[in-house]
């Protein structure tokens, strides 16, 4: 299994600013993903964080708004830029290990509130 | 594109009642199927998963799910729920060619003591 740590666990930000969320996995993983969980909703995939190259974004999400880095196999960051109240959500980092199981593990999430 | 549909948005049961939560997906290729649970204030946890073999999968805490390929379904069941099963339940599908996990809308289960 993989243990995923996210920082910060929660933050309150002003409109127009940016927040960077860090994700650290305790073992090397093949794939890392970022999800958003808006209040009362399910998880929506934002992007796949690719090691050493640009992230792969899902429809409706763009790099200018959600820049992502993944400098190595155990670490990734998600920045939510130019914040608006609509960005208030829980952002979750997830990682998939190797092997047949390929289970996806999740961090505890970062709860963002934009005022 | 893959999609996942959970039919029940909010389920209220009394303790000891039986549970079945519906999950259907749309994707024509090989899929891996998951049920995750999110207890109040906690992070997502894996309940069970199906990759291949026996379509009846047993998970933690007495949960099981049956993969019916012809119906594109992966319904979650538990014979007798407990108050501690109160949580949000998410069905998820991973297409083998993309590795991306797509979630259903979630079902809120409330178990009354």
* In chain A, % of residues over pLDDT 70: 95
* pLDDT value at residue B22: 96
- The tokens describing A84, both together, are 């608006």
Average pLDDT over residues A13-28: 95
Q: How many residues does chain B have?
A: 113
Of the pLDDT bands very low, low, confident and very high (cuts 50, 70, 90), residue B108 is: very high
How far, in Å, CA of A103 to CA of B41, rounded?
Answer: 22
**For the segment B67-101, what is each residue's pLDDT rounded down to a tens digit?**
999 999 999 999 999 999 999 999 999 877 777 88
Does B58 or A40 have the greater pLDDT score? B58
State the nearest Cα–Cα gap between B78 and chain A, in angstroms: 22
Q: What is the mean pLDDT of residues A30-39?
A: 90
Q: Is the pLDDT of residue A100 over 50?
A: no
A7 has pLDDT over 90:
yes
Residue B85 is predicted with a pLDDT of 97
pLDDT digits (tens, 9 = 90+) for B29-73: 888 999 999 998 888 888 999 988 999 999 999 999 999 999 999
Burial group, residue B57, by CB count within 10 angstroms (0-12, 13-18, 19+): buried
Cβ contacts of A102 on chain B, cutoff 8 Å: 32, 51, 94, 99
Q: Are the beta carbons of B43 and A41 separated by less than 8 Å?
A: no
User: Tokens representing B24?
Assistant: 């259907």
Name the closest residue on chain B to residue A32, using Cα atoms.
B100
More confident: A99 or A30 = A30
Tell me the C-alpha distance between A107 and A2, whole Å.
10
A103 contacts A97 by C-beta, under 8 angstroms: yes
The residue in chain A having the minimum alpha-carbon distance to the alpha carbon of residue B92 is A43
Q: Which tokens is A8 given?
A: 């910060």
């Amino acid at each position: 299994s993989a243990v995923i740590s996210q920082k910060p666990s929660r933050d309150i930000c002003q409109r127009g600013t940016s927040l960077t969320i860090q994700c650290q996995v305790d073992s090397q993983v093949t794939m890392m993903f970022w999800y958003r969980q808006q209040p009362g909703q399910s998880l929506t995939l934002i992007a796949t964080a690719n090691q050493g190259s640009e992230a792969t974004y899902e429809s409706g999400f763009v790099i200018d708004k959600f820049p992502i880095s993944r400098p190595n196999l155990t670490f990734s960051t998600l920045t939510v830029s130019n914040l608006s109240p609509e960005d208030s959500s829980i952002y979750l980092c997830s990682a998939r290990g190797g092997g047949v199981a390929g289970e996806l593990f999740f961090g505890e999430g970062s709860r963002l509130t934009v005022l | 594109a893959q999609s996942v549909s959970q039919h029940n948005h909010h389920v209220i049961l009394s303790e000891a009642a039986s549970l079945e939560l519906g999950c259907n997906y749309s994707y024509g290729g090989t899929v891996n199927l998951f049920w995750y649970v999110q207890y109040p204030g906690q992070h997502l946890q894996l309940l069970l998963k199906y990759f291949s073999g026996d379509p009846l999968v047993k998970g933690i805490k007495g949960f099981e799910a049956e993969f019916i390929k012809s119906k594109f379904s992966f319904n979650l069941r538990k014979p007798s729920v407990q108050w501690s099963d109160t949580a949000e339940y998410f069905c998820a599908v991973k297409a083998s060619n993309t590795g991306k996990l797509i979630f259903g809308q979630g079902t809120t289960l409330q178990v009354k003591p």
